[in-house]
Amino acid sequence: MLADKNLTLFIFLSGPSAPPQNLTLNDTTSTSLLVRWNEVPAADKNGIIRSYTVSYQANSSLLVENTTVYVPTREVNLTGLIKNMNYSVRVLASTDKGDGNYSNPEYFVTNQDGELAFRFPSIITRASVGKPES
């Protein structure tokens, strides 16, 4: 005689359903910007987070640059930026099943040497940093 048993199976068919949280921007020099973020909420990961992609763009440019970093890294230093330029920065998380949504953009004006930078609440992408371990 077979006993009745309940079996729950979770199949994740897409990337994270929420973006990384608390994106913060801090200038490190007049041409670089340190970008940090917190993890995707546990209930929204939809699998194991493997990497994060930071996308950034100077507001006067059509070129969007991307930088990918691999877990456990949750920060990247963007370099080669233009002094006194307004940039938008955002980040997304990825699993083996795909990319999640980008965070809301944050805006930042790089400083001129010796001046303070300005941050505006609310876009970035470049080369890969590090590689996942096999």
Identify residue 68 by its one-letter amino acid code. Answer: T
Residue 79's pLDDT band (cuts 50, 70, 90): very high
Cα distance between residue 57 and residue 47, in whole Å: 29
Q: How far apart are CA 36 and CA 27, in angstroms?
A: 11
> What is the average pLDDT across 82-105?
96
User: How many CB atoms are closer than 10 A to CB 54?
Assistant: 27
What is residue 134's predicted lDDT score, i.e. its pLDDT?
41
Average pLDDT score over residue span 64-80: 97
Strand 65-70 versus strand 128-129 pairing type: parallel
DSSP 61-121: -S--EEEEEETT--EEEE-SPPTT-EEEEEEEEEETTEE-PPPPPEEEEPPPTTS--EEE-
Would you say 130 and 69 are in contact if contact means Cβ atoms under 8 Å apart?
yes
Confidence of residue 6 (pLDDT cuts 50, 70, 90): low
- Residue 72: asked if its preceding bond is cis (omega within 30°), the reply is yes
Spell out the domains of the chain, with CATH numbers in brackets. 21-128 (2.60.40.10)
Write out the two tokens for 16: 């994270």
Structure tokens at 117: 């930078």
> Confidence band (pLDDT; 50, 70, 90) for 92?
very high
